[in-house]
Structure 1
Amino acid sequence: MLPPSYAGETGSPPFSLQRLRPLKDRLLAACFGAGVDSTAMLVALHLAGVQPQVITFADVGEGEKPETIVHLDRMNAVLASWGWSPIITCRKIPLASTGYDSLYGNCLANETLPSLAFGLKSCSIKWKQNPQDQYIKGARTGPNAQPPHPVWIEAQRTRQRIVKLIGYDCGRADLRRSRNLQTADADFDYAYPLQLLGWTREDCIAIITEVLGADYVPIKSACFYCPASKIWELYWLAAHHPDLLEQALLLERTALTGRHSRFDEVEFGGTWDDLVRNADRFPSSNTTVGLGRNFAWNQWARVNDVVDADFRVRREAADRTHFLMRAAELRRADNADDARSRNEARLAA
């Protein structure tokens, strides 16, 4: 049964669910990222009576925050109550000879940063897109070998094209990201249900709250060492998961002081490690200087007294309260609005 404000078949945007009706007759594969947008997308599909044949989630290994995994489990319980099949977790399985089984391990072993730190997206393709595609299409050889999903077999038999459903909303950031995306490739068509509905980030949070409850509004799904993280998110990480922040700092130090280091003492007046420990800021450069691209997380942590001299995150109660307050102060109204932004001020009080 639909909530009162969403039940109307001819409601005005952004809640006119009839815009999703054309999807009912298609073979659908929903990509679930376990964040606000993809959660709202599943709710919208359910309200519109549109059920995907398969829902996939890409797990990059030990990169997700614990809250995201908890949300994934809770959403599977929701899907069961709807009579839907569970979300399928897809993982890339590297060759045993690589010595790693996760994106974090990949970066650590190769002494490099995630590709997003250099403005690229190969990590997402390798560890997220490809495993989900392989789950649907199957793979004949290698460690990821598996038979195709029934929806792929049905698509081949009936000569239909599967529509991949992506949870981009109508916020400024997502509209910018999706502006030049293809609507189809050799294997799939693509659709963006939230944009068909005209839903913004705020609309997504509202629908999750009304249909599932405020506790089901998740945090942003991203690796704890994601180069796109904002400063307030680093403070949030220091407060809630100091061990994960320390792992991110180790990854950055390993990459920027290792065999691929691009820092020359002649050019910069010191090694990367010297600059982190002894300089107030990095010299202006086109070189990626850390996980923040134009800033190093290690230096941010040192300058702002988030870590001690050994780069261990401070864990006293007063430190945690300070980190929470800084997260609340620095967070701005942007496309990362999620459960964290609604809880930090209360937790810091």
Structure 2
Amino acid sequence: MSAGRRAPVVAASGAGTNSTAMIIELVRRGEIPEMTLLAAMPEQPHTRRLIPVFRQWMDDHGVPNEIVEYQARFFKHWPPYTSLLDACLTNGTLPSIAFGRHSCSARHKISPQDKWVKAWPPAQHAWANGRKVVRLIGYDCSSRDNQRYAHREGHVSDLYEYRYPLREWGFTREDCERIIADAGLPSFCKSSCFFYTAMQISEVRALPREELRLIVLLEARAAPRLRTVEGLWRKSTKKRPGSMTAFIRAEGLLDPDEIDEIIATAPPDLLAFQRAAAAVPIEQRDHISTWIERFNAGRACVSLSINNPDDLSRAA
């Protein structure tokens, strides 16, 4: 049925197991949503690898899909920035979840999807005719999602009607994993930023060195303003410190000299980059991603010199 004859349907994809299974099952049932939106986030490496795989699957099965990204509007004297990583480095802070708040998801996931839908003609037509847009959310029937659903149950919006297909079908996490496997797709794990406060010890151990360095940078940049938390993990427990940097150091995931150098030199260099940006008109400022790319490239060279000095001399 076309979007003009019914309320348009938009699926929210989080690039994890549940939303992926939801979309696959919708396709199997012949209920393809008019649009599937995926918010760009600094995901863990396994999720970044799977996003293009599943987008290709959606393309092959006639599922319209778009990636949306938060766009800051007022940069003041800062370089332009977009992602959650950009925002934290720009403002010298940690994600709000590290302080017990939950505004990251609202700003960087929900907000860009809302903005996209508001400019979408089928949604505009529906609202103009007194109908709502149907938004599909991938909560399943497992205990964790039961809690998440309980927080949203009864939520009323003037613009959206919320549906939870996995719950309507009685699907559990195990059902979602089976659906993905039956579709011939690789396993989709939990989707989260690589510096998410709920990251498990094993997940941090598995991160590539580039992400580990960025974690050290994030905590170093935010350190002068931290009063109530130790770092991205908030508080120390019996199993790990509150600072991911301290864990990375204790586990030997990065060379201690490299960690010390990042802490000592990277934040001042970023501040110098910001001061330079403040001196030029906004349209002439480099995006903060250019500084991050430079940081990553420089750290890769430093790491090579620390671990394989002979290789570095040959490369030169």
TM-score if structure 1 supplies the norm length? Answer: 0.66
The question of whether the paired residues in 2 share the 8 Å contact of 1:302 and 1:311 is answered with no
Counterpart residue number, 2:233: 292
The Cα offsets for residues 129-178 of structure 1, whole Å up to 9 and x where unpaired, read as: 111000001xxxxxxxxxx2022123124321111111112222121122
Structure 2 unmatched runs, 5+: 236-241, 260-298, 305-316
Match of 2:210 among 243, 257, 260: 243
Counterpart residue number, 2:71: 93
**1:212 alignment partner, SS class:** coil
The question of whether the paired residues in 1 share the 8 Å contact of 2:22 and 2:166 is answered with yes
- Distance (whole Å) between structure 2 residues aligned to residue 311 and residue 300 of structure 1: 14
- Distance (whole Å) between structure 2 residues aligned to residue 131 and residue 160 of structure 1: 21
1:196 aligns with 2:154: no
How do 1:1-349 residues align onto structure 2 when only pairs under 5 Å count? 26-60=7-41, 63-85=42-64, 87-95=65-73, 96-97=75-76, 98-99=78-79, 100-137=81-118, 148-181=119-152, 182-213=154-185, 215=186, 217-237=187-207, 241-256=208-223, 258=224, 260-262=225-227, 287-294=228-235, 295-312=242-259
The question of whether the paired residues in 2 share the 8 Å contact of 1:183 and 1:191 is answered with no
1:69 Cα deviation after fit: 3.3
Aligned AA (2:173): R
Structure 1 unmatched runs, 5+: 1-23, 138-147, 263-286, 317-349
Counterpart residue number, 2:288: none
**2:161 alignment partner, SS class:** strand
- Distance (whole Å) between structure 2 residues aligned to residue 310 and residue 255 of structure 1: 20
Aligned AA (2:66): I
The question of whether the paired residues in 2 share the 8 Å contact of 1:298 and 1:311 is answered with no
The Cα offsets for residues 40-70 of structure 1, whole Å up to 9 and x where unpaired, read as: 010111122111111101113xx12343233
Counterpart residue number, 1:275: none
Aligned AA (1:169): D
Residues 311 and 231 (structure 1 numbering): CA distance in 2 closer, same or farther, change over 3 Å? farther
Q: Which has the higher contact order (CA 8 A, sep 6+)?
A: 2
The question of whether the paired residues in 1 share the 8 Å contact of 2:212 and 2:254 is answered with no
Runs of 4+ in 1 over 3 A off after TM superposition: 95-98
1:252 Cα deviation after fit: 1.2
1:31 Cα deviation after fit: 0.3
- Distance (whole Å) between structure 2 residues aligned to residue 162 and residue 30 of structure 1: 10
Residues 304 and 72 (structure 1 numbering): CA distance in 2 closer, same or farther, change over 3 Å? closer
Size of the aligned set, in residue pairs, is 250
Aligned AA (1:163): V
1:26 Cα deviation after fit: 4.1
Cα-Cα RMSD: 2.4
The question of whether the paired residues in 2 share the 8 Å contact of 1:27 and 1:160 is answered with no
1:311 Cα deviation after fit: 4.8
Aligned AA (1:291): L
Residues 53 and 67 (structure 1 numbering): CA distance in 2 closer, same or farther, change over 3 Å? same
Residues 66 and 230 (structure 1 numbering): CA distance in 2 closer, same or farther, change over 3 Å? closer
Identity in percent: 33
